[in-house]
Amino acid sequence: MTSPAEKAQILTEALPYIRRFFGRIVVVKYGGNALAGAASEEDGLAQFAADIVLMHSVGMRPVVVHGGGPQIGDLLKKVGKESSFVDGLRVTDAETLDIVRMVLVGKVNREIVAAINVHGTLAVGVSGEDASLLTAQQVRPELGFVGEITDVHTELVDKLMDEELIPVIATIGLDDDGQAYNINADTAAAAIAAALYAEKLVYLTDIDGIRTDVADAASLLSSVSVKEIDAFIADGTISGGMIPKVQACVAAVQAGVGVAHILDGRVPRALLLEIFTPEGIGTMVTA
């Protein structure tokens, strides 16, 4: 058990980081894999919510962007619909789009908002459809209603933060004709972070970061530059499903976000350990 003196020391060590990030925007992408991969979804979500509230309480301005891939897959299975993917993107016909919206906006978003609001009237759930927050266009016809972001209109999010509220964003976008699209949450988080001029973009997922050897936990990189990432992708060190997430980090820092982080969201207090300690626990991507 931690003694009172040890607790005081921990708070003292966190103070420089609290001062440094006071008033700064931090976009946190909470992946469906992190939620589904926690030892207990309820405990994992409750800890994540408490961490977000603590960040808010010490003067940071958190914005939560969430996915829900595993949860979407589960519901599709329950209704007897097969999932198919092209280049890591879920093929989304009209029926699948309805289920995606139901899960992201009606389930995952509501659960995150409720978990945060246990600590006070703080969180407001929005969809990228609200106030044209995310405008989108179709990626490719064979993917159906899968979109890529064409613009981010931050007015709604800015107003919520000005009212000391925490926006929780589900990544559905609209085109100019009002057609909804399913948008990859990793790329959406990067675009939102860039549009908000965020200090940090943090990805909470089910991996511990970028490794030079996928099978060796000791090869985890605590920090990596965009130039190094390009080389790792070229030589195959970074491959498969890691590529889109890492490319989203690269896009964010190249667009002006201070730094991006990839963390294992299943680790208790992962967010606080990365932001408020000198060691951190994941991989930080820098320009």
The CATH number of whichever domain residue 193 belongs to comes to 3.40.1160.10
The pLDDT, as a whole number, for residue 107 is 95
Domain assignment of residue 286, yes or no? no
**pLDDT digits 0-9 by tens, 271-285:** 998 888 877 789 999
Q: Give the up-direction half-sphere exposure of residue 169: CA atoms within 13 A in the CB hemisphere.
A: 36
Complete DSSP assignment for 58-109:
TT-EEEEEE--HHHHHHHHHHTT----EETTEE-B-HHHHHHHHHHIIIIIH
- Cβ atoms of 74 and 102 within 8 Å: the answer is no
Retrieve residue 204's tokens.
């909470």
The residue segments making up the domain with residue 112 are 29-280
Secondary structure element (H or E) that encloses residue 37, with its range? helix 32-37
Q: Give the up-direction half-sphere exposure of residue 286: CA atoms within 13 A in the CB hemisphere.
A: 6
Domain count, the chain: 1
Residue 39 pLDDT > 50: no
Retrieve residue 60's tokens.
């940071």
Domain assignment of residue 5, yes or no? no
**pLDDT digits 0-9 by tens, 212-263:** 888 888 889 999 999 999 898 888 888 877 888 899 999 999 999 999 999 9
Domain assignment of residue 269, yes or no? yes
Domain assignment of residue 7, yes or no? no
Residue 36 pLDDT > 60: no
Domain assignment of residue 9, yes or no? no
Torsion angle, alpha carbons of 227, 228, 230, 231, to 10: 130
Retrieve residue 110's tokens.
């509501």
In the chain, DSSP finds a helix count (H) and a strand count (E) of 11, 14
CA–CA gap between residue 14 and residue 278 (Å, rounded): 9
Give the predicted TM-score (pTM) of the model: 0.93
Domain assignment of residue 24, yes or no? no
Which one-letter DSSP state was computed for residue 154? -
